[in-house]
Structure 1
Amino acid sequence: MSRFSRVLCTLLLFIAGSTQAHTLSESHSSWRVSGDSVRVEFIIPELEAKRLSSNGTEVPARSALSAYIAAHVGVEADAKACDLLDGPRALTAVPGFYRDELTFKCRSSQHLAIRSSVLYEFVPSHTNFARIETNEGELFEQLLTIDHQSVELTGEHSELQSAGLLEFIHMGIMHIFTGIDHMSFMLGLVLISRRVRDLLFVVTGFTIGHSLTLALAVTGILRPDGQFIDALVALTIVLIGAENIGDSTRNPLPVALGLGGILLAMTAAKLLGANITLPLTLLIGGGIFSFCYLLFTGHLRDAARVRLLVTLVFGLIHGFGFAADLLDMRLPPERTAALLFGFNIGVEIGQVTVVLGALLLARLLIKVRLAMPRPLFTDIAAAFLIGEGLYWFLGRTVTLG
């Protein structure tokens, strides 16, 4: 490993130690205006609902979840809060989601505004995808964020215009900047990339992956389970950490056996009745792939082209969850492709910024003669990647109790 790589290793440890794991934090709402009444259906994923519990791992009581939503969702008319006429009422939802209905009655229909502050105190980067149907039957979609918690529906300051391409580009950029799981994977690839050409392969692979995600999502060919995607994202972090260990020791067999063995042991545990959410096919396939990939790349003198394939796959699984969520919003078909394209462009901008920022900062640190022993930093950084990846992978696949 070069001195430059050792500095990047230090940067990786710093970033990993100061940031939390990230999957896109989101919820959905559907608002329908009928004169001076507004009905809203608020949908929150189970993963987000768990943030409301004291330990962050359990879903709060259903009544407590409904009460929280009612306290953080509202409608105003002429800058005065509208009365809650009905609800919150728990509705049937698909597995893994919670849906509540609330109806607000306002004193007038002038200067109507909707608001939501759900989850911002827990996740500042949280986004609510709001679908609004006006009194005239027109449909709009808006993004509610911590900096944009309300939308005026009527009056001279009406904000009813659909979220544009630039907003989705910005969301894609922030998805990278707030995502330690993605940054850990990318910086792990930078650590093992010895030449600029290797980095080009990495960026190209990720770009191709997101392009394929766009095409498959728009056509509706694939709609994978979000929980499975999160688990596979964590597994890719373990893989890149394990590959760094194999490359450093020049002995990939123990690493390949270890990771493959963990996945096959989870397969056996699931067969014995353990609460493991991943299907057997993914556990077995993941174990075989991990073993073969680590053994294969460990004996290659130049694994850059293989890493292009890995980053392509990572781009697919990392982008599918968001693409599926957008499609669930029932965006107008004529705009879906453009909005997905905007998010993917934002992801690419964020990715390139992270990589270039790491490279520039590493060069700067080299100038001040920062040098560390190679074995120490290689092994610590790779071990940290494996540890955090396994922590997330097990947390997203194993249910206790």
Structure 2
Amino acid sequence: MRRAAVMRRIAQVALACLALAGTAAAHTRSQSHSAWLIDGPSVHVGFTVPDLEAARLTADGHAPDDARLIAYLVPKIGVESHGQPCPVTTPPRAVAASAGFRRIELSFLCADKRDMALHSTAFVDLVSSHTNFAQIQTVQGDFFEQLLTRDAPSIVISGPASQHRLQDAGFLQFVAMGVMHIFTGVDHMSFLVGLVLISRRLRDLVFVVTGFTIGHSLTLALAVTGVIRPHAEYIDALVALTIALIGVENVASATRRPGLVALWTGGALLLMTGLRLAGFGLLPPFLLLGAGLFSTNYLLVSGHLRDAGRVRLVVTLVFGLIHGFGFAADLLESKLPAGRLAELLLGFNLGVEIGQLTLVIALTAVTAFLVRRSWALPRPIVGDVAAAGLIGLGTFWFVARSF
């Protein structure tokens, strides 16, 4: 009976994964690139788009001619100063680009360089998830990057709300950024909920939070200082996988069949590796294979130890390394003050700790209160429901971000 129950649970999760994979495959990955050179009130922009993206402008699926591409892009790319559009000074023209790409260049001249903003809504009307990777550089040598999307189509480059706002930010503002990153990041909050879920004693909770803190502090510093710059899409997918694994571990513990659960988990990741080798997906095959080996061994080890607290310290340290790169992503979208990186890292990391400890303590206190009042549901029921939620959410994000 127990084995049959395990198989039913795994089958349900597997069917959910297949359904989510089909949904994720329906989303189209769409992107372009823009390079902006700021010289006082003058702005020069080069917009590069793959031929496959440009072909969306035609009914027959073939790349449009230069005139049609220019006619589409010009109304959707612009510069504003004091809320007023800056006129185009250099007529838009097509220039040479790498094979498989199209590049259009044009220039703008604003009345002055105060309260200046750049924006692009190109292709978001055709693909709502389209992302433009914008690189902004000034003639003084300042450089930063930003993602332009349907929800965030503009970059303010001067004035109080500009990307340079961190230059004059105080230490407490850095702390507040860290706190808000926790409370506005659904994936990181979900992971912390999972840590509380697998910690049956206060000592276990101390171990997992300590490991997580050490891990994310290390990679946050490495990423922001430029020592390591991992691929953001890979990190987003791995963060989602850690959330699913926390839920899967709870299933392995509840069913007391860690070997079977580990086999199915590793097999699913091995299947994704095969799909990637066949040309489906975005994550490198070796990354998927490594994730499968790690997940299988993690579930086997944690499932056969009576006291897994110390092991979880090591495991959550690994999880923390992944989440640290995720924490760094928000900072790297901003113009970081190079001379204040140490202060920024200390403040932001302190804010992250305050945020996560606040969340963990609040969850623990609410749980203790409900138990004391006899209002709490039995732990197995709460554990199963929470684990199912984490597995569903983590699997959905992982599959969507992988394809």
Give the TM-score, by structure 2 length. 0.68
In the alignment, which of 317, 322, 344 is matched to residue 349 of structure 2? 344
**Residue 257 of structure 2: aligned partner:** 251
Contact 1:91/1:101, CA 8 A, preserved across alignment: no
Q: 1:210 to 1:102 in 2, by over 3 A?
A: farther
User: How do 1:14-163 residues align onto structure 2 when only pairs under 5 Å count?
Assistant: 32-39=37-44, 71=76, 74-77=79-82, 80-85=84-89, 103-106=107-110, 108-109=111-112, 111-114=114-117, 133=138, 137=140, 139=142, 153=158, 162-163=165-166
In the alignment, which of 314, 317, 327 is matched to residue 312 of structure 1? 317
Unaligned residue ranges in structure 2 (runs of 5+): 1-31, 57-63, 123-127
**Residue 177 of structure 1: aligned partner:** 183
Once the two structures are TM-superposed, the CA of residue 243 in structure 1 deviates from its matched residue by: 1.0
Does the alignment pair 1:212 with 2:218?
A: yes
Question: After alignment, is 367-376 or 186-195 more displaced?
Answer: 367-376
In the alignment, which of 271, 275, 295 is matched to residue 300 of structure 2? 295
Contact 1:36/1:109, CA 8 A, preserved across alignment: yes
Once the two structures are TM-superposed, the CA of residue 241 in structure 1 deviates from its matched residue by: 0.8
Once the two structures are TM-superposed, the CA of residue 87 in structure 1 deviates from its matched residue by: 5.5
Once the two structures are TM-superposed, the CA of residue 43 in structure 1 deviates from its matched residue by: 10
Q: 1:67 to 1:320 in 2, by over 3 A?
A: farther
CA distance in 2 between partners of 1:169 and 1:29 (Å):
32
Q: 1:110 to 1:239 in 2, by over 3 A?
A: closer
Does the alignment pair 1:282 with 2:290?
A: no
- Which amino acid is the alignment partner of residue 196 of structure 1? L
**Residue 206 of structure 2: aligned partner:** 200
Count of matched residue positions in the alignment of Structure 1 and Structure 2:
352
- Which amino acid is the alignment partner of residue 231 of structure 2? D
Does the alignment pair 1:323 with 2:357?
A: no
1:211-258: CA deviation from partner (whole Å, max 9, x where unpaired): 211443356443222222122111111211111112222221211111
Contact 1:297/1:306, CA 8 A, preserved across alignment: yes
1:70-97: CA deviation from partner (whole Å, max 9, x where unpaired): 65853225x644224466989979x9x9
Does the alignment pair 1:358 with 2:357?
A: no
Contact 1:234/1:392, CA 8 A, preserved across alignment: yes
Structure whose CA Rg is larger:
2
Once the two structures are TM-superposed, the CA of residue 140 in structure 1 deviates from its matched residue by: 8.5
**Residue 8 of structure 2: aligned partner:** none
Q: 1:334 to 1:394 in 2, by over 3 A?
A: same
1:256-283: CA deviation from partner (whole Å, max 9, x where unpaired): 1110111122233334x14132222222
Unaligned residue ranges in structure 1 (runs of 5+): 1-26, 54-60
Contact 1:202/1:308, CA 8 A, preserved across alignment: yes
Secondary structure, in 3 states, of the residue corresponding to 2:107? strand
- Which amino acid is the alignment partner of residue 114 of structure 1? A
Contact 1:66/1:90, CA 8 A, preserved across alignment: no
Once the two structures are TM-superposed, the CA of residue 143 in structure 1 deviates from its matched residue by: 9.5
Once the two structures are TM-superposed, the CA of residue 355 in structure 1 deviates from its matched residue by: 1.3
**Residue 27 of structure 2: aligned partner:** none
Secondary structure, in 3 states, of the residue corresponding to 1:104? strand
Q: Please, what is the CA RMSD of the aligned residues?
A: 4.9
- Which amino acid is the alignment partner of residue 201 of structure 1? F
- Which amino acid is the alignment partner of residue 182 of structure 1? H
Secondary structure, in 3 states, of the residue corresponding to 1:369? coil
Secondary structure, in 3 states, of the residue corresponding to 2:281? coil
CA distance in 2 between partners of 1:326 and 1:219 (Å):
11
Does the alignment pair 1:392 with 2:397?
A: yes
Give the TM-score, by structure 1 length. 0.68
**Residue 231 of structure 1: aligned partner:** 237
**Residue 271 of structure 2: aligned partner:** 265
- Which amino acid is the alignment partner of residue 265 of structure 2? L
Secondary structure, in 3 states, of the residue corresponding to 1:301? coil
